[in-house]
Amino acid sequence: MDNKKNFTVGMTTFGAIFFIFGFATTFIITMTAPVKAVFGLSEFAAQLLSSAFFITYPIMSIPTGRLINKIGYKWTVILGLLLMGIGSITFVPAAKGQLLGLFYVATFILATGVVFLQVAANPYVTALGSESSASSRLNLTQALNSVATMVAPWLIGIAIFRNLDLPALATEAQEKQFGLDVAARIPVPFIIMALIVIAVAIILFTIKLPALQTEKKEGEKKSIWKYPHVLLGAFGIFAYVGAEVGNAGLLVNYIRGTSDLINAEMASTYAAIYWGGAMIGRFFGSIMFSDMKNGVKKYAYIIAILILALVSGSFVTDWNWGIGLTFTGTAFVNFIFMQFGRGKAARSLAIFALMAAALGIITTFTTGQVAIWTVISIGLFNSIMFPNIFSLAVRNLDSEEMAPASGLINALILGGAIIPPIMGSIADTAGYSWAFIVPAVCYLYIFFYAVKGHKIR
């Protein structure tokens, strides 16, 4: 009974942590569109905000892995939450004074807190139960993360872009006023975020988390640098995060450019659907990679997830049931492809990576609604990538090796700092459509990892 209680407390606590850092990450990624408007930046320069966020991973991830071994998971998470609060508050003077440099500083502080949370959360959830169901647990917690990632762009649309619009052929004065209006609306969401994360830190201080048992392997201690599946998995995370963030960072401005009828608020809701695809796919994954047998209970869950897709897709688009139905249809297609994976992490990852690459290429060579829905649907196939790459990369590691391995893998989230500016530069010079070739190449590397690179040698 105690083991079951400990498992419940651990999963509940870290489910909340996944939600928090998912919201913060996506909020910053989607903030590239408001920041572009406030400072009149090129797409390349706007994407540097994502770089300021993700550059923290190579700097802080490995030290965070060591910190966990010294002070434990709980105190690492508390420190991370407090840093997120400080970073959020720093956005207030940055927006009010329209200080671009301070925006980057605030982003770096906030991101450091997120790194603390993420490096602690993934190995904790992986090691909390059996290795065979690790992928299922990570898909479930990543699904909670994705609930937050769907909410964040929708909130930006509501809190920052609602009732604000910029004509297609705007004058310099109109562009300046649009930037001023956007800047005035930025502080409130960050103040709310600061209050929430500080409150969670205080609550976490009062909770006793289950400790993870450390079991040392017999014989000579091996360095994680000698495990090819760990190193190649870290590069898989580089490719995945770079592709996911690069797609999301361009999404609002790309969709705005597809039609004069789509404004910034509406484009932000489409971005919410992109992230919502990851949420739906991960809920599917938490079932498919679990030990749940085929039966009434399993199919009831699947129907419930499809209903969630319908409701969430309609809700974020101001109850547009047509868009909600289209989103549900694409979610069902995603579920069909998941069946080909037969509940195996590597096989499913290979299928999803190949599909995501194909959707990126189709986006490049099509226009209109087809292009919008192909790029949005990539979110569904992103869904299981992080948890499956992570669980494949840490297989056969003992709990002492888990934290430094997590630090290394999370360091390669650096992809989120490198790929978006590359895509932004291509968008500036050749057009938005051509930028989506870059993530397609990233997905092809993930396909290689799923087929061959994950094998332990």
Taken in order of first residue, the domains within the chain and their CATH numbers are 2-208+224-453 (1.20.1250.20)
Question: Alpha carbon of 381 to those of 384, 386, 390: distances in Å?
Answer: 7, 11, 16
The burial class, CB within 10 Å (0-12 / 13-18 / 19+), for 293 is exposed
Interatomic CA distance for residues 204 and 342, integer angstroms = 38
Question: Alpha carbon of 320 to those of 256, 303, 363, 371: distances in Å?
Answer: 18, 20, 23, 19
The letter for the amino acid at 45 is A
Angle ∠(298,300,305) on CA atoms, nearest 5:
100
Judge whether 73 and 124 are in contact, CB under 8 Å: yes
Interatomic CA distance for residues 103 and 93, integer angstroms = 9
Q: What pLDDT is stored for residue 1 in this prediction?
A: 43
Interatomic CA distance for residues 23 and 18, integer angstroms = 9
Q: Which residue in 78, 358, 29 sits closest to 197, CA to CA?
A: 78
Judge whether 136 and 143 are in contact, CB under 8 Å: no
The burial class, CB within 10 Å (0-12 / 13-18 / 19+), for 196 is middle
Q: What pLDDT is stored for residue 170 in this prediction?
A: 64
Interatomic CA distance for residues 92 and 281, integer angstroms = 35
Interatomic CA distance for residues 423 and 420, integer angstroms = 5
Q: What pLDDT is stored for residue 169 in this prediction?
A: 57
The letter for the amino acid at 335 is F
Region at 454 (left for phi over 0; alpha for psi -120 to 50; beta for the rest): alpha
Question: Alpha carbon of 406 to those of 66, 109, 135: distances in Å?
Answer: 10, 20, 15
Alpha helices in 257-367 (DSSP H): 264-288, 296-315, 321-339, 345-364
| Three-class secondary structure of residue 170 per DSSP | coil
The burial class, CB within 10 Å (0-12 / 13-18 / 19+), for 129 is middle
- Mean per-residue pLDDT pooled into runs of 10, the chain (457 residues): 63 78 82 82 88 90 84 87 94 88 92 88 71 65 73 79 66 75 85 88 80 52 78 95 92 82 81 88 80 80 93 90 95 92 88 97 92 94 90 81 80 91 94 95 97 86
Interatomic CA distance for residues 208 and 129, integer angstroms = 18
The letter for the amino acid at 149 is T
Judge whether 356 and 381 are in contact, CB under 8 Å: yes
Q: For 186, which DSSP code?
A: S
Q: Which residue in 249, 320, 19 sits closest to 149, CA to CA?
A: 19
Q: For 367, which DSSP code?
A: -
- Listed in sequence order, the residues at least 6 apart from 262 whose beta carbon sits closer than 8 Å to its beta carbon are 255, 256, 270
- The DSSP-derived string for 55-120 is THHHHHHHHHHHHHHHHHHHHHHHHHHHHHHHHHHHHHHHHHTT-HHHHHHHHHHHHHHHHHHHHH
Q: Which residue in 1, 40, 300, 30 sits closest to 149, CA to CA?
A: 30
Interatomic CA distance for residues 324 and 273, integer angstroms = 9
Q: What pLDDT is stored for residue 214 in this prediction?
A: 47
- Listed in sequence order, the residues at least 6 apart from 194 whose beta carbon sits closer than 8 Å to its beta carbon are 84, 85, 86, 88, 89
Q: How far apart are the first and last CA of the chain?
A: 38
CA 206 to chain centre: 28
341, containing H or E segment = none
Judge whether 251 and 375 are in contact, CB under 8 Å: yes
Q: Which residue in 119, 149, 153, 145 sits closest to 34, CA to CA?
A: 153
| Three-class secondary structure of residue 135 per DSSP | helix
